[in-house]
Amino acid sequence: MSRYDRQIKLTEVGQKGQEEFRNAKVLIVGVGGLGCPAAMYLVGAGVGKIGLMDHDRVDVSNLHRQVLFKESDVGRPKALVAKERLEKQNSEVQFEVYEKPLTVENAENTVKQYDIVLDGTDNFETKYLINDACLLADKPWVFASIYKNEGQLSVFNYKDGPTYRCVFPKSTRQNISCETTGVLGVLPGILGTLQAAEVIKIILGAGELLSGKLKLINMMLSSEQTIKLNKRPEEIEKIRKGGIAPVDIDCDLKDKEQWYLDVREAFEQPKPKGKKVLSIPLGDLTSRYREIPDNQEVFVFCQSGKRSKNAIEILKNEFGFHNLKNVEGGIETIIDG
Amino acid sequence: MTVTIKYFGLVAEAANKFEEVMELNGELTARELKEHCLNGLSITDKDSVQIAVNQNLDDQITLKDGDEVALLPPFAGG
């Protein structure tokens, strides 16, 4: 009995559909709450090649929703752990692991190597990046996003259909992730699984896709709604002509007179503006510590407060800084507005 | 005339409701209604909130009795 017998029995699949699964190449950007369940079902279906892209490592606070990871994986790279788990599920699938973020530099070339992109990211800048890269490479992508108990889902850039910029032409700095707002594990589970379903329908060329439609789900209220979308040709033309338009999300910090040290990587957002904000990624501190003022109090921050704590330890123990204060809750707690 | 307004995401949170029925006097476009609804809510980036009227994304349309207006902010979480 074949591994795929139960799906081949469906008229929408058959031997031909199974062959299409085997020939399909899907890139999953962000192997988290959405990416984990999506990957499991696509691997189960026998998608031939799956790219797993995530620069992050497994944190214990991920385990309630990122269902590929176990306690013993904490601290290990998500993309690699996911591959190790998924190849045990289906050894016929070929995996490509990218332990790095999608960037303006690598986006178009990476996307080109796949048929479909599944968006498992948790930030606006990467969603716009996926959108622009898919537009330029002429690939469809399956979008999902979450806010607390609500989710949004759509298929963008499918056969010349509407893109993300046609719905949300303007980015926002209200970049609120599950880390700050909270989320029940089951919601990204539902959304990620629906994303996998859209990918499967694209591969099979079967059914009705969410192209030109935005599905809204409220898990708590058990309600859903589908909004019809229109193309904004000027938004599409802008990217076709000008290439990827990176989205920088600026923000102001509450205290303009206070010195701040941002120890996040260059790609991390939002980016605080101001004369007294110094940006030195954690890994560069030992070569650039001289830039940090040592005669007045400096608030050190990162995304969550963890790396900034490490940074203070290093700067205190190795270079004698005594004027540093950790921003415990990360950048979201010091943004103005 | 009466319209039903549906709130989503952080707009629902700021408004402290998911739905409301509103009595309107005179002609109003969807965009004008959005401005009216968001006025006074603690949302820093009102431009990013999109409007759908009767499940169609459109902010130029003039509202009529019985319309359902959805206010849709972008979500980023995953």
Given this model, what pLDDT does residue A265 score?
87
In the predicted structure, residue A78 carries a pLDDT above the cut 80: yes
- Decide if B51 is inside a domain: yes
Closest listed residue to residue A210, CA positions, set A225, A226, A224: A226
Taking only Cα atoms into account, the Rg of chain A, rounded to an integer number of angstroms, comes to: 21
Side-chain-side CA neighbours of A176 within 13 Å: the count stands at 19
Q: Does A250-333 carry CATH code 3.40.50.2000?
A: no
Q: Verify whether the Cβ–Cβ distance A227 to B76 is below 8 Å.
A: no
Q: For residue range A1-34, what is the model confidence (pLDDT) as tens digits?
A: 699 999 999 999 999 999 999 999 999 999 999 9
Yes or no: say if A28 and A86 are a contact pair by the CB < 8 Å rule: no
- Decide if B31 is inside a domain: yes
- Give percent of chain B above pLDDT 90: 79
Q: For residue range A267-315, what is the model confidence (pLDDT) as tens digits?
A: 787 888 888 999 999 999 999 999 999 999 999 999 889 999 999 999 9
User: What does the pLDDT average to over A158-176?
Assistant: 86
Given this model, what pLDDT does residue A179 score?
67
CATH number of this structure's domain A5-242: 3.40.50.720
Distance CA A158, CA A79 (A): 26
In the predicted structure, residue A175 carries a pLDDT above the cut 60: no
Nearest to B70 among A121, A177, A227 (CB): A227
- Decide if B43 is inside a domain: yes
Q: For residue range B47-58, what is the model confidence (pLDDT) as tens digits?
A: 899 999 999 998
- Decide if B45 is inside a domain: yes
Residue B72, SS3 per DSSP: strand
Given this model, what pLDDT does residue B33 score?
95
- Give percent of chain A above pLDDT 90: 84
Closest listed residue to residue A310, CA positions, set A281, A279, A276, A288: A281
Given this model, what pLDDT does residue A142 score?
98
Domain residues for B65? 2-72
- Decide if B38 is inside a domain: yes
Q: Which of A122-136, A255-269, B3-17, B53-67 has the lowest mean pLDDT?
A: A255-269
Distance CA A185, CA B9 (A): 17
Q: Strand A116-119 vs strand A25-29: parallel, antiparallel, or unpaired? A: parallel
Going from N- to C-terminal start, the domains of chain A cover 5-242, 250-333
Q: Verify whether the Cβ–Cβ distance A225 to B70 is below 8 Å.
A: yes
Q: Any CB–CB contact under 8 A between B61 and chain A?
A: no
Number of domains in chain B: 1
Cβ atoms within 10 Å, residue A49: 17
CATH number of the domain residue B65 falls in: 3.10.20.30
Instruction: Go through A107-134 and write b for each residue having 16 or more CB atoms within 10 A of its CB, e for each that does not.
Output: bbebbeebbbbbbbbbbbbbbbbbbbbb
Given this model, what pLDDT does residue A301 score?
95
The residue length of chain A stands at 337
Q: Strand A25-29 vs strand A250-251: parallel, antiparallel, or unpaired? A: unpaired
d(CA A180, nearest CA chain B) in Å = 10
**Cross-strand bridge partners of residue B19:** B6
Quick check: bond before A101 cis, omega within 30? no
DSSP conformational letter for B9:
H
- Decide if B78 is inside a domain: no
Q: For residue range A36-75, what is the model confidence (pLDDT) as tens digits?
A: 999 999 999 999 999 999 999 999 999 999 999 999 999 9
Task: Check residues A255 and A149 and name the one with the higher pLDDT.
Answer: A149
Nearest to B57 among A32, A178, A229 (CB): A229
Q: Verify whether the Cβ–Cβ distance B50 to A167 is below 8 Å.
A: yes
Task: Name the average pLDDT for chain B.
Answer: 93
Main-chain phi, psi angles of A157, to 5 degrees? 60, 30
Q: Any CB–CB contact under 8 A between B59 and chain A?
A: no
Identity at A326, one-letter amino acid code: N
Closest listed residue to residue A159, CA positions, set A96, A205, A128: A205
Q: What is the 3-state secondary structure (H, E, C) of chain A?
A: CCCCHHHHCCCCCHHHHHHHHHHCEEEEECCCCCHHHHHHHHHHHCCCEEEEECCCECCHHHCCCCCCCCHHHCCCEHHHHHHHHHHHHCCCCEEEEECCCCCCCCHHHHHHCCCEEEECCCCHHHHHHHHHHHHHHCCCEEEEEEECCEEEEEEECCCCCCCHHHHCCCCCCCCCCHHHHCCCCHHHHHHHHHHHHHHHHHHHCCCCCCECEEEEEECCCCEEEEEECCCCHHHHHHHHHHCCCCCCCEECECCCCCEEEECCCCCCCCEECCCCEEECCHHHHHHHHHHCCCCCCEEEECCCCHHHHHHHHHHHHHHCCCCEEECCCCHHHCECC
- Decide if B77 is inside a domain: no
Q: Which of A27-31, A248-252, A262-266, A280-284 has the lowest mean pLDDT?
A: A248-252
Comparing alpha-carbon positions, the chain B residue that sits nearest to A221 is B18
Distance CA A137, CA A158 (A): 12
Distance CA A110, CA A25 (A): 12
User: What does the pLDDT average to over B36-40?
Assistant: 92
Comparing alpha-carbon positions, the chain B residue that sits nearest to A225 is B55
In the predicted structure, residue A178 carries a pLDDT above the cut 70: no
